[in-house]
């Protein structure tokens, strides 16, 4: 019997969408205002969902305190109030789109979880725009 447990979290971060190997004109055509050289910010909302068997002894899929601490260490401490392009090594050469941020969060968190647990990341860049990544 698999059950999914979820926890939400939040971080503020700045980014700029552009490719170093494209001209400013092409970056502007593709990324528009998101290519602003002075960066811009988002209030990111994160929903982390973990699916697995209920532990017979504890009754938990995962102790929420453990999940909370992994989110804090891997996401909030790493991204909150940061410039993703300049301060977060994963985005040095990776465009910090919501898609890529979700994939980076997935891999950072997956490595800290029991391998038997399935992980799903939902990342809201705005209240209406969100992406989902659950591996592969």
> Which residues have a catalytic role annotated?
34, 81, 125
Between 34 and 113, CB nearer to Ni ion: 34
CA 126 to chain centre: 13
CA distances from 76 to 21, 27, 94, 109 (A): 30, 29, 19, 12
- The interface region with Ni ion, picked from 27-35, 44-52, 71-79, 111-119 by CB under 5 A, is 27-35
Residue nearest to Ni ion (CB): 34
Between 32 and 135, CB nearer to Ni ion: 32
Residues in the chain: 136
**Residue 121 falls in which region: left (phi positive, over 0), alpha (psi -120 to 50) or beta:** beta
Single residue of 5, 9, 34, 47 touching Ni ion by CB under 5 A: 34
- The interface region with Ni ion, picked from 34-42, 47-55, 102-110, 111-119 by CB under 5 A, is 34-42
Minimal CA–CA distance to 133: which of 110, 102, 90, 89?
A: 102
Task: Kindly state whether residue 9 participates in binding Ni ion, applying the rule CB under 5 A.
Answer: no
Contact 52, 114 (CB under 8 A): yes
Interface map 98-127 toward Ni ion (x if CB under 5 A): ------------------------------
Between 34 and 66, CB nearer to Ni ion: 34
Between 41 and 135, CB nearer to Ni ion: 41
Beta pairing class for 82-83 and 2-15: parallel
The footprint of Ni ion (CB under 5 A) covers 34
């Amino acid at each position: 019997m698999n059950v999914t447990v979820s926890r939400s979290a939040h971080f503020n971060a700045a980014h700029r969408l552009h490719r170093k190997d494209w001209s400013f004109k092409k970056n502007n055509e593709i990324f528009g205002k998101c290519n602003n050289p002075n960066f811009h910010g988002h209030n990111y909302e994160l929903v982390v969902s973990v699916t697995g068997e209920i532990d017979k002894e504890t009754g938990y899929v995962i102790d929420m305190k453990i999940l909370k601490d992994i989110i804090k260490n891997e996401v909030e401490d790493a991204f909150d109030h940061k410039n993703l392009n300049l301060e977060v090594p994963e985005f040095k050469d990776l465009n910090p789109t919501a898609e890529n941020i979700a994939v980076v969060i997935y891999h950072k968190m997956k490595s800290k979880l029991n391998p038997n647990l399935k992980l799903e990341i939902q990342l809201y860049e705005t209240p209406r725009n969100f992406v989902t990544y659950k591996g592969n």
